[in-house]
Chains A and B, each alone.
Chain A
Amino acid sequence: DIQLTQSPSFLSASVGDRATITCRASQDISSNLAWYQQKPGKAPQLLIYAASTLQSGVPSRFSGSGSGTEFTLTISSLQPEDFATYYCQQINSYPLTFGGGTKVEIK
């Protein structure tokens, strides 16, 4: 199985800060990686797929990069509505797997 390791697990930041989350895969997954945002009590929402393609309707302050085994989600300027938990997911091979999550909290 492909393991995804997200770092950090917790990120404390202020409104307007730049936030960067890393996702490392245990083997090459090409660009077959997606990022999701989840708020408490809600279903996850797709932010980015194919490592760097912004899902329709997602603000441009979100961006993704990487390929192979190392990937990054960047939020250029945190807004109040961005405080949530973020998950990466590999869709390269079965079983599909998720990273452990990164909780972005208000400092």
Chain B
Amino acid sequence: EVQLVESGGGLVQPGGSLRLSCAASGFTFSDHYMDWVRQAPGEGLEWVGRIRNKANSYTTQYAASVKGRFTISRDDSKNSLYLQMDSLKTEDTAVYYCAGVLSPGARYGPFGYWGQGTLVSVSS
């Protein structure tokens, strides 16, 4: 059974930092592109960013709203995905989901695997 379990959410002040983790199991994590998606309270889904697999040099892509502040990384030896969030703003308050692309290395793959989400609240 595929499982993605996020952790690391919580309350942080504006300007602060937080690191989210996502532990994967039940599939060959290292083969798959992985993404972060967020959802502000009562709002829709917003893509945050992607990290590709080793075959594609672990390259990353980010939404404009987080570029330069957030960093996605992965540790295939630990089947783990990370989201380092710096210079946090109140508008970053959201549930953050990790998501796995359905097919290994698929350029146009949908998000076939989702975690349960972790809430990040940015407030003074």
B contact residues, range: 20 to 34
- Say yes or no: is A83 at the interface (Cβ < 8 Å to chain B): no
Partner of A96, one of B47, B102, B114, B116: B47
- Say yes or no: is A72 at the interface (Cβ < 8 Å to chain B): no
- Say yes or no: is A16 at the interface (Cβ < 8 Å to chain B): no
Q: Cβ of B45: which chain A residues have Cβ within 8 Å of it?
A: 36, 38, 44, 87, 89, 98, 101
Partner of B115, one of A43, A50, A87, A96: A43
Partner of A46, one of B46, B62, B112: B112
Q: Closest residue to B103 on the A side, CB-wise? A: A49
Give Cα A50 to B64, complex, Å: 25
Q: Closest residue to A97 on the B side, CB-wise? A: B47
Binding site for A on B (CB under 8 A): 35, 37, 44-47, 50, 61-64, 97, 102, 108-112, 114-117
Binding site for B on A (CB under 8 A): 32, 34, 36, 38, 42-46, 49-50, 55, 87, 89, 91-92, 94-101
